[in-house]
Amino acid sequence: MSKITRTEGLVLSSRPFRESSKIAVIFTRKSGRIDVLAHGARRPGSKFGASLEPGTELSLIYYERENKNLLTLSSADIIVSHQKLRESRDSLKLLYRVLGFLSHISHPGESNSGLYNLTVSLLNAMDKGNSIGYLFEYYLLHTASTVGYHPGIDERCVICGKKTEGKFSIVSGGFLCSEHSKEDSTLYLTKQERIMLYELSEFSVENLSKKYNSITPLISKLLRQYAVYHLHADPKLVL
């Protein structure tokens, strides 16, 4: 007997399948990452229309059958197309970078509504043209926090709790005091960079865009390396 599921989802990628269909990878609110077969999606006048374009937010219905690994997409209605993001080279590049990263770190069938909401809110911010210069680093930081790897950024040593002097350890996941940083490779952040890192963690994109046009190269390096180490992200996707 078929199991039918209705949920919201974000199209990560799609590819042709046989003569007239498509296979799409979708990150859903209820079921995490899924692969679905959309019968006839490439035919003129298909009911799926442009709904399977990467970056499209959908309301979808799919079903699974016994002994079938590939789910079948029954319907897909566009909630937000995010078409504006495909109209400039920079926003399109960032869109595909975000979707590629999400596809890489997510796992089939593992739902994470927080990560879904974070990604949708990021795309909405991109639609408004907010902080294109460092939105990807913002996304890396908040993804790490959402999946349980929030860095220790309160300037207390993550090992002993002592006051630190701005030495951040990727491996230890936060700032280290002078004693514990001796045996660990660290990045030294200025006071302004420490404030910036904290505000990246705590402020909304809208509020950040009013204060910072860009972030320092060191903050960018820190967040990218952090994602590689703690989220096991492919360096090609983030560095």
Is residue 130 within 8 Å of 209, Cβ to Cβ? yes
20 vs 131, more confident: 20
CA distances from 71 to 26, 62, 76, 83, 173 (A): 11, 7, 13, 26, 38
Tell me the per-residue pLDDT of 187-203, one tens digit each, with 9 for 90 and over.
999 999 999 999 999 99
Strand order in the sheet with 167-169: 174-176, 167-169, 187-188
Res. 183: pLDDT tops 70: no
| 163 φ/ψ angles, rounded to the nearest 5 degrees | -65, 140
Mean pLDDT computed over 139-163:
95
Res. 216: pLDDT tops 80: yes
Tell me the per-residue pLDDT of 26-60, one tens digit each, with 9 for 90 and over.
999 999 999 999 999 999 999 999 999 999 999 99
Mean pLDDT computed over 96-116:
95
Res. 232: pLDDT tops 80: yes
Round to whole Å and give the CA distance between 13 and 237: 15
Residues of the chain with CATH 2.40.50.140: 3-82
Res. 67: pLDDT tops 70: no
pTM: 0.93
CATH classification code of 3-82? 2.40.50.140
